[in-house]
Amino acid sequence: MALTETGDHEPLDEPEYRRLAEAVSSTRSTSTEQALAAALGGPGGPAAHLEFTHTAVLVAARSVDDVVAALVELGVRPEEQVPGEPVPDEPTRDRLARLTGHDLGADVRLVRCALPGCPRGLEVSVLGGPAGPDRVGWAHPVFRVAGDEVVSRGVYEALRDAGLVPDGGGHDPRGNATALHLRGRTGVELRLPGHRTDLLRRHLGRPDEARRAMFELVTGAWRTRAVAAVAELGVADLLAGGPRTTADLSERTGTRPGELHRVLAFLGALGVLHRDGDAWSLTEAGALLRADADGSLRDLARLYGGLFYLSFTALEQTLRVGGSAFEHFYGVLPFEHFAEHPADARLFEGAMAAGTSFLNLVPGLLDLPETGTVVDVAGGDGRLLGLVLAAAPGLRGVLFDRPHVAGAAREVLARSGCADRAEVVAGDFFTDPVPAGGDVYLLSRVLHDWDDERCSTILRNVRSAMPDGALLAVVERPIRDDRSVLPLSFNVHMMVNTALGGERTADRHRELLAEHGFTLEDIRELPLDMAVLVARATPV
């Protein structure tokens, strides 16, 4: 049944209305497993890692209002758009141009819809003008991939192995998502958060893939400095209350509007900012540059795009003669520099705190006893120990670190409400006895600061304090394989910006622990390729 004409609106053509009606019906009645089976021609595939979230529909219509009216008749609730108009659908325009060889999608608009009583919805792309022989249309399920980049890559490869073939895709900067279109018995779309450049290149099979990849590598410094510059200027803080124009941001930051606009446009393409005309707002990633954001990365961006950015310019010297690139560039080792430059020291401390949001998850990964003692060796400001004690009210804690750390640790533990159950002991794990008799020992981001020889001293001293069977939890970023980009990049970073530090493979961690009286029992995952290596003190 086609729409009857109402008001100034023309009815939809019958095929377009039927496509909408069938999409509404199938979206309501089809599960994730059924939608995937329809595309594959039978059950199977990585359904456990997929969620059928909505159906993407393309229809041709004389006006968007005609489509909205049809959707209402079908019991669908179009979401209100701001400022009252559907948003332009740029990815669909690009796909149409590729499929037809013509710019048919110059006025494609997107209407998002909810289905009352159904967890799924519709995204209807409206192609202006009546249906005809030069028009195309589609209706296909969209699956959200649940999991990290490794899981996403595995899901994609499993679907390719099952017979689905690439059918276009791209990055949507508005939603900061990557869309991968595939085709089998039916079309499907995978929707992944963020800009998955490697997977997108693999999917699109660009003939200039190698050249494009190298261009992105050699221009990576431009991205780092652009992010660092807007972090220094506090642009994200200015956008906390809502969108602002380039002129407004320029006036508030004391910068030149033309030059600032170029950087903002660059960051918009990278998914840091969202652009609406000449107004800018924060994406989810960009919001992390706000100083007041939970887990703010502003100081980290300033450090990596400033002090440590410059130290990397001496990397070649380190490769030729050894030593720390930081020392080659600045003339002293990092902590000597921080002692002489308090502002840099505060920035470093803020950046390191920003990179520890994963610590909130550590207590839940530990097999904590109901009672006993937790000893945090080189526990720093006491944040991790405070989290562990808060998760286990029957435990007592001991924080062991150098004397100058003790004051700050006591304050943090007091703010955590654990001061009455925590003791701070001053000492050096190289030369002083580690507090003995604990049930659980923590070594968080300690071993990567040192070479094997000094790590052996640390582990030997910790083991001498532990009773047989006590638990040792080591928090590090182990290198799992030759595609572990974050661990491998931090391995270089530690070489550049420390005297003796570096990341280790999981096997090397296992060997080091075994050499000093520990058995590695498990490796438990944390975000950003961090992990808790759970070890047990073995009887001597």
Positions annotated as catalytic residues are 448
The Cα–Cα gap between 273 and 261 comes to: 12
The Cα–Cα gap between 429 and 483 comes to: 34
- Both structure tokens of 299: 């100081």
Question: Which are the contacts of 312, defined by CB distance < 8 A and separation ≥ 6?
Answer: 325, 496
Q: Which of 511, 386, 493, 517 is nearest to 444 (CA)?
A: 386
For 110, phi and psi rounded to 5 degrees?
-115, 130
Question: Which are the contacts of 492, defined by CB distance < 8 A and separation ≥ 6?
Answer: 315
Handedness of CA 452, 453, 455, 456 (dihedral sign): positive
- Three-state DSSP string of 72-106: HHCCCEECCCCCCCCEECHHHHHHHHHHHCCCCCC
How many residues would you count in the chain?
540
Q: Which of 361, 377, 382 is nearest to 472 (CA)?
A: 377
Pairing of strands 109-114, 87-88: antiparallel
DSSP 169-204: EEEETTTTEEEEEEESSSEEEEEEES--HHHHHHHH
Question: What residues form DSSP beta bridges with 473?
Answer: 442, 534
Edge to edge, what strands does the sheet with 422-426 contain? 422-426, 395-401, 372-377, 440-444, 471-476, 531-537, 518-525
